[in-house]
Structure 1
């Protein structure tokens, strides 16, 4: 019936788009033969017409990418981003429990679709049946907005939510690798025993740093900041680092230099650290001698003396502000020492250590923080006596906390304060006696 009919290419294209709605064209589909030389032109024409009729673009983001089928960071960020809005729209949700038995995090289950809006433009996210990919659909006229600002916004917000919800970790080095445990230290700046003005200054500096990605990019510097914490033992250096991590939501990498054999291994460790982290160099005064070489304690069977490992001062400086220091982003490097006077001047020069923080002996304001933390008291008739003694005696927050810690939860606060006063008076007497002896000697 269809033999001998002459139908032009336009009619054929119309069949491809509309034939399913008209049985007449279905008949012709089995009887029309298109010459090979015209097929490419017809195909291009049909695609253009299809684009005109359906002006939407779809982009798929697969869960696994690459030869090793690694989980895509983009997919993870999108999944987390959509979890913040999908619970309000999707009818099928998947629940995941998070740390500390908090409320579950809800995300889209398979074959669901939600609508998002960005700068007044609507777009659609859809999951596959088994949730192996996300498909983004949007109008082609918004290509530049979606491919640029919108996807950047989605990935940034998704990663920020991941950091907030993730279980943070405390890492320690073993050779060129890191091992970790869950980081769950309760320290905060509210509970930190130090002068309020100093705390406020440090918090402001940390928050400013964490919000300065654009600034560091504009001035051409790696997004990092180096702190030096110094002061007598027991003044709260480790607690300060934990409070920093809790304030910013960072992981902690506790770097033990005496476990690093050379500069190359130090670089490998640095490369493996993640962004949004604090790299802590422990007791730098005990790890590095004046020649810049690391010293290991003598090992059994080694009669030639201490083993010297070649992590040099120059290697450490390159770790701080050389090329390798730019690996990753949004990181703090914190050096901790009890004897700052023993450090090499090259470590302390301006531009290398961005901020020096001295943690000193316990003053009265720091004591009041401890009294509130340990005994839930903000005022007491013994406070004036304690204030006078703290002005005359050097004692660390750790020593004060030892007296405020009761043997039982129902311990009498007065008993604890009296115990502290006795200890401070004893220290004052010892100090007075020492001064007296020095005067007699001179």
Structure 2
């Protein structure tokens, strides 16, 4: 018993001594000059690294350019938030960038563990405190955060290669999933505004259109979904065949057939941002390249009504007059010719647009979709829409019965009705756009009434168009002008 009492007393003395030394060391460090403190910490770290079987990596919040956060740090934060934060007892809650979702991250000096291929990894969050200059009293650096991951030395190659790549890939995917997607539009460019305004402005993108709500033939819709899935999984394939990871879609068809709804459905399906490029405000090919460079990956670049924005009908030399081609040697005509050439250099040309789609500059970045829309595909230059530039041509046509059923379910919440058979026969005889069908099914004031009232209204519209077509001897297509004439009681010639 005496021996046990002596050991207990000795351990108590040792513990007290160590505790006292720790307090003294802490107080001593508080008044120690910064240079001496850093010198001692360096040698203490070297000594412990020799006897410790563990290695440690540091991931700083800022690396190199202090204006931008380190990509690996952002990915690590997202990875730990998703995979490891549930194991931590102290967490930080914050809103993600450009998002209304709450993100959970581990707090300072909190330890969480992760397992990867048999290796155990310990993660810690830290923060560099600002250091005050002893002469000026100013802080020498800002508050900076960083992560450390500790692992056994025998797993170093595994951590340096596969594990960090795993963290980066998973973290990037989580960041994309959690962010608030955006709709961009390009700013009108002037020489002075380029120094003060960004190339793109954006708003939050919250359009509800999806493939489930899109009025389209189910088989055709599934074909598009399969194509998008193949593109999303095609990084290794595009790298193997030596092509930029991008894909072009051409949406064509009459107005009101759902081209814009298709774009938003694609964006919501892939969870991509949208860049709505207004070509009429772009002054030159060089500005077009700058706009492309400023876009990010996982995005859709849209040029709507491409046939209306530029002269891309194949008349590539139409600016030259007949007299200029003859070249009679007149100084005045030569000056005018040079003036025209200078003006042309300041405009977006077909060749500049083609280089934008699949030239050298198109390889700046990856995982992009370029979409053109047009009401008149026959007006476009064949070089613009050939395979390889516009890889998939999607015709947005008039409403058929299957598309009508989707609209009826969206607007009226019904899957069948006694008027369906009559409506089916009318769709076989009359061509009408999905937008016009939706207009007839729209519940005024969102009131809850019998769906039959709106179906009867659609039947009446279809019957009126059928009679008007029969009277005029047309082929069943009723355009917007014709529809307005019929509704206003104008006699058609």
TM range (shorter): 0.7 to 0.9
For the 8 Å contact 2:101–2:178, the answer to whether it is kept is no
Residue in structure 1 matching 2:277, options 242, 255, 259: 255
1:221 paired residue number: 243
Is 1:149 aligned to 2:162, yes or no? Answer: yes
Cα shift at 1:370: 0.1
In the alignment, which residue of structure 1 is the partner of 2:180?
167
Distance 2:97 2:165 in 1: 28
Please provide the CA RMSD for this pair: 2.8
Match of 1:426 among 454, 461, 464: 464
Gaps of 5+ in 1: 1-19, 24-45, 296-306, 438-442
1:123, 1:252 → 2: CA distance? 38
The match for 1:212 among 216, 222, 234 is: 234
- Asked if residue 92 in structure 1 is aligned to residue 86 in structure 2, the reply is no
Q: CA deviation at 1:351?
A: 2.0
Q: 2:148 aligns with which of 118, 135, 138?
A: 135
**Out of 250, 264, 276, which is 1:242 matched to?**
264
Hey, what's the Cα distance between the residues in 2 that align with 1:294 and 1:135? Answer: 64
2:416 corresponding residue in structure 1: 379
**Residue deviations 1:377-419, cap 9 Å, x none?**
1100111111111111110000000000021321321111111
Determine the structure 2 residue equivalent to 1:11: none
* 1:115 and 2:109 aligned: no
Match of 1:277 in 2: 299
> What is the 5 A alignment of 1:263-342?
263-289=285-311, 290=313, 291=315, 310-342=347-379
1:218-273 per-position Cα deviation (integer Å, ceiling 9, x unaligned): 11111111100111100000000000000010000001111100100000000000
Distance 1:355 1:115 in 2: 47
Cα deviation 1:106-134 (Å, max 9, x = unaligned): 11111111111111111111111467000
Counterpart pick for 1:200 among 222, 229, 234: 222
Equivalence for 1:13:
none
The Cα of 1:50 is off from its aligned counterpart by 5.8
Structure 2: runs of 5+ lacking an equivalent: 1-17, 22-43, 129-143, 190-198, 320-342, 476-493
Q: Are the equivalent residues in 2 in contact too, given 1:294–1:312 (CA < 8 A)?
A: no
TM-score normalised per structure 1: 0.82
- SS of the aligned residue for 2:216 comes to coil
Question: Which whole-Å CA distance do the structure 2 matches of 1:160 and 1:67 have between them?
Answer: 24
SS, match of residue 256 in structure 2:
coil
Which residue is 2:134 aligned to? none
Superposed displacement of residue 87, structure 1: 2.8
Aligned-pair CA distance for 1:190: 0.5
Q: Structure 1 residues 294 and 90, CA, compared in 2 at 3 Å: closer, same or farther?
A: farther
CA contact (8 A) 1:257 1:294 kept: no
Question: SS of the residue aligned with 2:411?
Answer: helix
Contact between 2:100 and 2:180, CA under 8 Å: does it hold in 1? no
For the 8 Å contact 2:99–2:180, the answer to whether it is kept is no
Q: 1:248 to 1:101 in 2, by over 3 A?
A: closer
Aligned pairs, number: 387
CA distance, structure 2, for counterparts of residue 293 and residue 224 of structure 1: 30
Q: TM-score, normalised by structure 2?
A: 0.74
Partner of 2:435: 398
